Amino acid sequence: MNDDPLMARARHLWETLAGVPAPFAPGGGPVVVTAPGSALCPPAWVGTVLLGDSALITAPTDGTAEAVRRACATLPTRSLTEPAAVARTLPIADVLGPATLAYLLPDDFRPYEPPDVTVATLPAGDPELLKLLASVSEEDAGECGLDEINSPAFVVREATGLVAVAGYVDWPGDTAHLCVLTAPQARGRGLARAVASAATYHALAADRLPQWRARPEASRRVARALGYRELGSQLSVRLRTGPHSAP
């Protein structure tokens, strides 16, 4: 995997987000570091990013990092983003993920522009976009992250208003983190793929690395259809504290 340019860019991104010098192990396996300011996870959590056969794990304190290293010694590397496996070795209080991480090189992009769908653009933060976000479940709104985009919003509008939106957030390393949302009543018609294709094209034209992070299988299918390649996964856990749990 060391000569895979897509893997190399993805790993460089997460090494940067760790906030401390923390390279993925070139020969595979986990690397655990103390990084209180890590962007791999919420503050005071343990964050794990698995890319290929290597995992980068950040912990908020030295004591927690040591506990995580002991846990890693008992688990296969590919199990480090599986909540059930991690819970057998660490006292987990809360979990975010796992989410699949997928990336795209320009030559692999498969644009999708159906003739019966018109994709328009709106500025990030437009009231129509906020109205769509307010109309879906809290889980869907949090999953898509559209309230954070700083690219244009690529939208499909019908008589009732916006039914599909995509955009991206600028991340370090010239990365474009894709955000996509389709209204529940409009799903299953290829609209997510259409707006995501437009957002991906915009990111590639700006020489950015598109990143797709998703948990639902339906979202992962959209990414794969556009040419995104799944390289790994991400998991964040909050450990229980106290004399009989985490350090």
In a shared domain, residues 128 and 179 = yes
Q: Could you report the per-residue pLDDT of 3-15, keeping only the tens digit for each?
A: 799 999 999 999 9
What global pTM score does this model have? 0.93
Q: Could you tell me where the DSSP H helices lie in the chain? A: 5-17, 62-72, 83-87, 127-135, 138-144, 191-205, 217-226
> How many whole angstroms separate alpha carbon 99 and alpha carbon 27?
24
In a shared domain, residues 111 and 221 = yes
Q: What is the pLDDT of residue 244?
A: 44
In a shared domain, residues 116 and 205 = yes
What residue numbers bound the domain in which 215 lies? 106-227
Average pLDDT of every residue of the chain: 93
Handedness of CA 81, 84, 89, 90 (dihedral sign): positive
113-to-7, 136, 190 alpha-carbon distances in Å = 28, 25, 10
User: Is position 244 within any domain?
Assistant: no
Q: Could you report the per-residue pLDDT of 65-78, keeping only the tens digit for each?
A: 999 999 999 999 99
Lowest-pLDDT range of 32-36, 146-150, 195-199, 203-207: 146-150
> How many whole angstroms separate alpha carbon 16 and alpha carbon 33?
13
In a shared domain, residues 218 and 113 = yes
In a shared domain, residues 58 and 130 = no
Q: Could you report the per-residue pLDDT of 175-186, keeping only the tens digit for each?
A: 999 999 999 888
> How many whole angstroms separate alpha carbon 225 and alpha carbon 193?
8
Q: Could you report the per-residue pLDDT of 75-93, keeping only the tens digit for each?
A: 999 999 999 999 999 999 9
User: Is position 149 within any domain?
Assistant: yes
In a shared domain, residues 110 and 196 = yes
